[in-house]
Chain A
Amino acid sequence: LKESKRAVNSLRDIVDDDDDDLERVSWSGEPVGSISWSIKETASSSTSSLEGRESSLQKSSSSTAFPKQVSPYFLSNLFKGRNKLPSFQSLSDALSDTGVKNYAPELRRPKAEYKDYSSDWSPKDTVRRMQRGKVCSLERFRSLQDKLMLLDEAVAGHDGNVITAVLIFLKRTLRREILFRELEVRQVALCHLIHFLKETGEQKLLLDLLRFLDRTEELALSQYREHLNIQDVEKRREFLKGCIGLPFSAEDTSHIQDHYTLLERQIIIEANDRHLETAGQSEIFRKYPRKASILNMPLVTTLFYSCFYHYTEAEGMFSSPTNLKKTFKIPDKQYVLTALAARAKLRAWDDVDALFTTKNWLGYTKKKAPIGFHRVVDILQRNSAPVQVLQEYVRLVEDVETRLNLATKYKCHDVVIETYRDLKDRIQLTAYKCKVERGSAEEEKINSILNNT
């Protein structure tokens, strides 16, 4: 890549072109001014033959004739069924440029006028007309049998637009129970109606339909979806509470429950904290004013917030991290990671220390973590932890190679030295001498190790 870049830049000096800001390209894709473009321009044979049903198999070198200017006259030509299709510049020689009519079967029929609808079309013909986009009055289909025939014809015709149109008509003119009953045995039409109701937001009818069909889980989820439309937090909370009893799957039920509980807690925390902020008494809120409200935030974000602003609170308080952990059964891993991130951001290294320190039964403390210590180092480093703190944790990284990499990267000299000593690697240790300051304690350490072994 470097070579080509160099070549390109050197060529810039030779070639004196100013106007390559705009790469003008013709509709067939060739840059205007290129050789291939000019060939095509000069050698083009006539392309705009609207007649000529046979496509010749000879190679034709005409350029495309896609209209750039859309004049109203041309548009009406299009509607009369004379489309121009752009040519293929294909690999295979057999495909060639054709300026030919659109042969989709229905367009070859004479297009009847809008005003012309007789009142006697059969269901099949009605559907045909609708497929062609013509206005059709469906009112004539009065009996249930007629209506169902119409629906079945529409479904057989496969055009979703027509099916939806017929369904709108049926929805308006049939009693609900009858409509539901008939649709139960017509899967395709049923799917279309459900989709239609979703799109138009006719929630009540949709829920009734799903209830009738006993599609309980879908019913539950559909109803749950509505919460997104409720902006007011209190109302949303109420709504979510109502969702809990719905027939979700077992797993989903617990998630919905959690969603409600979380929002409930967030409302309380938000009110409290806003109060604290305006009162101006709390140090943490003064030093780190909140940038956004905690409402509607995901659980982990809420936990981070809580570890940031309410770390030391007792478990009984809704805003304490331990309360959140217990209520939502947050696994240790996630909890430790989040707490670490929050305390590291606040540069509270003692808190970080305490996270990983456990007392065993003899009273000795040791450090352990549910996540690899390299992760801890990563997060600390991102928060610009001082080397002494970093060093502590680099030392705890289990995998030797990773430990060495990190120690070297972050200049934790003591750890590097100790590790090489443990590996009894004199060569590396000697080599590392040049990385430490002359006359420093580290240099002395290296020398003493080298001399004593």
Chain B
Amino acid sequence: REDRGRSPQRDFHILFVPRRSLLCEQWLKEQGVLGSFIHREQYSLDLIPFDGDLLSMESESAFKECYLESDQTSLYHAAKGLMTLQALYGTIPQIFGKGECARHVANMMIRMKREFPGSQNSIFPVFDTLLLLDRNVDLLTPLATQLTYEGLIDEIYGIQNTYVKLPPEKFAPKKQGEGGKDLPTEPKKLQLNSAEELYAEIRDKNFNAVGSVLSKKAKIISAAFEERHHAKTVGEIKQFVSQLPHMQAARSSLANHTSIAELIKDITTSEDFFDNLTVEQEFMSGIDTDKVNNYIEDCIAQKHPLIKILRLVCLQSVCNSGLKQKVLDYYKREILQTYGYEHILTLNNLEKAGLLKPQTSGRNNYPTIRKTLRLWMDDVNEQNPNDISYVYSGYAPLSVRLAQLLARPGWRSIEEVLKMLPGPHFEERQQLPTGLQKKRQHGENRVTLVFFLGGVTYAEIAALRFLSQMEDGGTEYVIATTKLINGTTWIKSLMEKLEPAPF
């Protein structure tokens, strides 16, 4: 309204991204400014490509809406996104799923296909299988601290839309002969995706394996630069010079990642990180999940950040299929007394989401699930992994195990365990027009699109990529999700907003 007064010639347009919301318009109407907008449009962004094998809707509230508020609008948009995908890359012949939301999305897809028969197209299907997974089938994985390079960057600094902001001190160029140049105060912003060779190589590795890759790379680059001494003829020099931009890029990439790795190492070698990780791993391997944990109590007493506490108690609850009432009450009381009674609202949300709840059936299913799906692997090899458990240095993400077992030998072999996990599991087939049935060549991989409804972590993505490049794995994976998450952003989205709303 102010603006209008200032410049009456100006036209105001409003563009809703990713989609218009009636609530928004309603509010604008109440403020009396709805009519001032000449154009009201929406720019639909359903699935946004983040990398060659990664798509995300970046819908932060999807998990909260689906599981706390029973509002399945984001699933509707997921289904629409999948329809667009099929229009471009062909109908997906097989759909597997586990979870209520998965079932819902599959139903919507089938209905949409039925209602728009004209969308049948003549494209060879790129995807053989679609796997829809509810986040609440695997509540454990996002709570644990990720241990891949990219996962740690996200946990510590937060990756936003493939960009990360880092403390600038280590990135200041040290020019020789110049006195103390002013240290930059702006955080250093870096883009992280697979177009950067070095990053593509190290992003999915366990952090402990990154150092040796960087030092090898350093040797290679040094040697390459040394070549300039060997270049004698004009031709050789010319060749060297033409390589120079590439080498410079490689060198700068190495510099950046060496600095980032140093920053991360400072954190991972700290006592607190180690203690936290120890407790996490104890819970995940099933140790002492039924009593109040000393480390958690100490952290509450020392008033560590609330989200850290919540992640740990939720992890314990999930690994115990819910906490004994006494233990739960004890934690709740300590948290409320230390951080404030208003957090009762958040604790209520966490209970509703199934993350921090009392044990209802008196039975703990987690050990059975853990053993049958081999979720805890003692002999993990971080340098040259042979199993997906390397991404958490011992714990294999439940969701990725399900995907792995689906491909081989199939879910029939784990029927019992599947029943212990929430939600139905199902299989659907979509008819392909004749002539498009793809015959797999010998040695050709199947392509599976795994859609995480409610969020996915970088560690899970790394695990799926690991499966893709396994020698005779037989399947390549493309990942889609409603949002890229880590434990902290995920729990935060479930916390009750404690400041009064701005309007």
Complexed CA–CA distance, A91 and B314 (Å): 36
Extra A-B contacts (4), CB below 8 Å, given A3-B219, A251-B332: A6-B218, A7-B219, A55-B123, A159-B73
Whose C-beta in chain B lies nearest to the C-beta of A83? B44
A53 to B121, CA, bound (A): 9
User: Least Cβ distance of B95 to chain A in Å?
Assistant: 17
- How many A residues are at the interface, by size bracket? 35 or more
Residue from B70, B191, B478 in contact with A187 in the complex, judged by beta carbons closer than 8 Å: B70
Residue contact A30 to B195, C-beta cutoff 8 Å = yes
Let me know if B338 and A299 touch, CB within 8 A: yes
Please indicate the chain B residues that have their CB under 8 angstroms from the CB of A225 in the complex. 345, 496
Count how many chain B residues have C-beta atoms less than 8 Å from C-beta atoms of the other chain.
105
Residues on A with beta carbons closer than 8 Å to the beta carbon of B249: 31, 33-35
Contact of B337 among A75, A102, A108, A330 (CB under 8 A): A330
A217 to B331, CA, bound (A): 21
Q: CB of A10 within 8 A of chain B?
A: yes
- Number of residue pairs A-B, CB distance < 8 angstroms: 240
Closest to A297 in B: B340
With a cutoff of 8 Å between Cβ atoms, the chain A residues found around residue B118 in the complex are 105, 108
Least CB distance, B308 to chain A, in whole angstroms:
16
Fill in one digit per residue for B335-355: 1 if any A CB lies within 8 Å of its CB, else 0. 011111110110010000000
B165 adjacent to chain A (CB < 8 Å): no
- Given known A-B contacts A98-B88, A258-B341, A188 and B500 have beta carbons under 8 A apart: no
Q: Are A5 and B75 in contact (CB under 8 A)?
A: no
B278 contacts chain A at the CB level, 8 A cutoff = no
Check A103/B301 contact, CB under 8 A, given A94-B126, A200-B23.
Answer: no
B225 at the interface (CB under 8 A from A): yes
B191 to A, closest residue via Cβ? A25
Please tell me which stretch of B255-263, B400-408, B420-428 contacts chain A, meaning at least 4 of its Cβ atoms lie within 8 angstroms of it: B255-263
* A-chain residues with CB within 8 Å of residue B337 when the two chains form the complex: 298-300, 328, 330, 334
Query: In the complex, how many angstroms separate the beta carbon of B264 from the nearest chain A beta carbon?
Result: 10
Of the candidate stretches A138-146, A190-198, A268-276, A344-352, the one touching chain B is: A190-198
Q: Which residues of B contact A (CB under 8 A)?
A: 15, 19-23, 26-27, 41-44, 46, 49, 51-53, 65, 69-73, 75-76, 79-80, 83-84, 87-89, 108, 112, 115-116, 118-119, 121-124, 126, 162, 173-174, 176, 190-191, 193-196, 211, 214-215, 217-219, 221-222, 225, 228, 243, 245-249, 251-255, 258, 261-262, 265, 298, 301, 303, 329, 332-334, 336-342, 344-345, 348, 445, 447, 468, 476, 478, 496, 498-501
- The CA-CA distance from A58 to B377 in the complex, in Å, is 42
Q: Indicate which residue in B23, B84, B329, B341 contacts A104 across the interface (CB closer than 8 Å).
A: B84
Docked CA distance A103–B85 (Å): 8
Contact B340 A1, beta carbon cutoff 8 Å: no
Which residues of B have CB within 8 Å of A231? 500
- Nearest to A229 among chain B residues (CB) is B500
> Which residues in B have their C-beta under 8 angstroms from that of A102?
84
Give the residues in chain B near A13, CB-CB below 8 Å.
176
Binary CB contact string for chain A from 123 to 156 against chain B (1 if under 8 A, 0 otherwise) = 0000000000100000000000000000000000
Write out the residue numbers on chain A whose beta carbons fall within 8 Å of the beta carbon of B21. 161
Q: Tell whether, in the assembled complex, residue A29 and residue B119 are in contact, meaning their CB atoms are under 8 Å apart.
A: no
With both chains docked as a complex, state the minimum distance between the C-beta of A419 and any C-beta of chain B, in angstroms: 23
In the complex, whether A201 has a CB less than 8 A from a CB of chain B is yes
Quick check: B222 and A7 within 8 Å, CB to CB? yes
Question: Assuming the A-B contacts A4-B215, A9-B174, A299-B337, are A199 and B23 also in contact, with contact meaning beta carbons closer than 8 angstroms in the complex?
Answer: yes
Q: Please give the distance in Å from B125's CB to the nearest CB on chain A.
A: 10
Contact B251 A1 (CB under 8 A): no
Is A4 a contact of B20 with CB atoms below 8 Å?
Answer: no
Contact B89 A55 (CB under 8 A): yes
B122: A residues at CB distance < 8 A: 54
